[in-house]
Amino acid sequence: MDVLERIGEQVRSNPVVIYMKGTPQFPQCGFSMRAAQALQQCEVPFAYVNVLQDPEIFEHLPRFADWPTFPQIYIDGELVGGCDITLELHASGELKTMMEQAVAKADDA
């Protein structure tokens, strides 16, 4: 499977997924750490992909949605953005709502 197809499958099959450097438990950069913490504080399950463990994804993910940096957060198959946007959504309460709606939609499918 082509790497962009693999990324597409991950994005489609997970209601919420973060592509980050490291893991939520052991982040490898400050931006990934802050974004993952915001997701965790919403108390809604999410998937993650450690881009440092998969050089193909690390290299090609910026092409997938034309977003050059990490982390990248996808909710309901759509790119939400990176760290700053995620933190803004979390501060406003929108992030939790978006995550809950995406998980509920996936559960109904």
When pLDDT is averaged across residues 90-109 and rounded to a whole number, the result is 96
**Torsion angle defined by CA atoms of residues 43, 45, 49 and 50, in that order, rounded to the nearest 10 degrees:** 40
Residues 63-89: tens digit of each pLDDT: 999 999 999 999 999 999 999 999 999
Residue 5, classified by CB atoms within 10 Å of its CB into exposed (0-12), middle (13-18) or buried (19+), is exposed
For residue 31, the model assigns a pLDDT of: 98
Q: Is 29 annotated as a binding residue?
A: yes
Local confidence band at 99 (pLDDT 50, 70, 90 cut-offs): very high
Q: Are strands 72-75 and 16-20 parallel, antiparallel or unpaired?
A: antiparallel
Pick the CATH number of 3-100 from 3.90.79.10, 3.40.30.10, 3.60.40.10, 3.40.50.720: 3.40.30.10
Local confidence band at 93 (pLDDT 50, 70, 90 cut-offs): very high
What are the sequence ranges of the domains in the chain? 3-100
Give yes or no for residue 109 having a pLDDT over 90.
no
